[in-house]
Amino acid sequence: MRAQGKGPGGPPDKGTRRAAASRDSALGERTPEKKTRAANSSKPPAGGGGKTSGGESHLALVRRARRINRELAEVYPYAHPELDFENSFQLLVATVLSAQTTDLRVNQTTPALFAAYPTPEDMAAADPEALEQLIRPTGFFRAKAKSLLGLSAALRDNFGGEVPGRLKDLVTLPGVGRKTANVVLGNAFGVPGITVDTHFGRLVRRWKWTDETDPEKIEAVVCDLFPKSEWTMLSHRVIFHGRRVCHSRRPACGACPIAPLCPSYGEGETDPEKAKKLLKYEMGGRPGQRLKPPADFPGQPAPPLGADVEVE
């Protein structure tokens, strides 16, 4: 049975409160967080009074999307990038390595990598085979080593050994596309950006924010629904939710705190007890992906490479 609610665009109701209770029981007791208010955009909604493909007015969609963002902000007040990094170069390298693998695997790999090559100059001068062996656990290690050597040399030769803080410069680096550039800009330079990865695309389609599958088109649609100041944290929250609750194959609808706002409720497991067992990382009482999580992370740190600990 669908969770009680007034459907997309409706105000939080009993269903929302039940969902919040389910969320709190999944996370353990937490200090109530102040509500995030996202509705401060000065930008008029694109599309005027037209309807979306789901028959919802653009204004209703903006309101529902922002309500989902506010709910997610309460569920994940500690949302953050799940790659361990201490500077912009480390974040850039870690993001390149994260293609086709988990952030956990990258985080388990980078301590030895950054100890061996702490600067772009060091990495540009690396022996390719030694570099390949260090990053081997992340998969596609030959192609990734080539990218790291190329981007390190470009940083050394073209940018004075510093990671540039502009999109147009970042995307000139080997192995760096728009998604990687936005991650670096948002999290190392404080430049707002939407990160459209596989989780983000899947969730915004389930929420009927858009039907698009092209990352750049999704980015444009979502940018238009929110004020710029929300873009980076929205990205973290959505990706957190995709990794913990709204999985690709078996979304945990019965334990989902935003079920009353979701038009795709029922796509996954709706039985609350069974759904709770599908929750991952700190929501499922297990370690997170970062070996060095931020201080406010309520879960446990991830284990180092080779440790025999169940993570997800």
Provide φ and ψ at 83, rounded to 5°.
-105, 135
Known catalytic residue: 197?
yes
Q: Give the shortest CB-251-to-ligand SF4 separation in angstroms.
A: 4
| Nearest residue (CB) to ligand SF4, 83 versus 256 | 256
CB of 119 to ligand SF4, least distance (A): 42
- Please identify, using beta-carbon distances, which residue of 94 and 252 lies nearer to ligand SF4: 252
DSSP, residue by residue, the chain: -PPSS--TTPPP-HHHHHHHHHHHHHH---PPPPPP------SPPTTTT-B-TTS-BHHHHHHHHHHHHHHHHHH-TT---SS--SSHHHHHHHHHHTTTS-HHHHHHHHHHHHHH--SHHHHHTS-HHHHHHHHGGGS-HHHHHHHHHHHHHHHHHHSTTS--SSHHHHTTSTT--HHHHHHHHHHHS--------HHHHHHHHHTTS----SHHHHHHHHHHHS-GGGHHHHHHHHHHHHHHTS-SSS--GGG-TTGGG-TTTTSS---HHHHHTT--GGGGTS--S-SS--TT--SPPPPPTT------
Residue 75 or 91: the one with the smaller Cβ distance to ligand SF4 is 75
For the bound state, the minimum distance from the C-beta of residue 247 to ligand SF4, rounded and expressed in Å, comes to 8
User: Which residue type sits at 137?
Assistant: P
Of 20 and 153, CB closest to ligand SF4: 20
Tell me whether residue 75 or residue 149 sits nearer to ligand SF4 (CB atom).
Answer: 75
Closest-CA residue to 303 (of 71, 104, 56): 104
- Cα separation, 124 vs 127, in Å, equals 9
Task: Give the binding site for ligand SF4 (CB under 6 A).
Answer: 206, 245-246, 251-253, 256, 258-259, 262, 264-265, 267-268
Which DSSP string do the residues of 62-99 spell out, in sequence order?
A: HHHHHHHHHHHHHH-TT---SS--SSHHHHHHHHHHTT
**Closest distance to ligand SF4 from the beta carbon of 213 (Å):** 17
Catalytic residue among 179, 208, 224, 276: 179
> Nearer Cβ to ligand SF4, position 89 or 281?
281
Active site residues: 179, 197
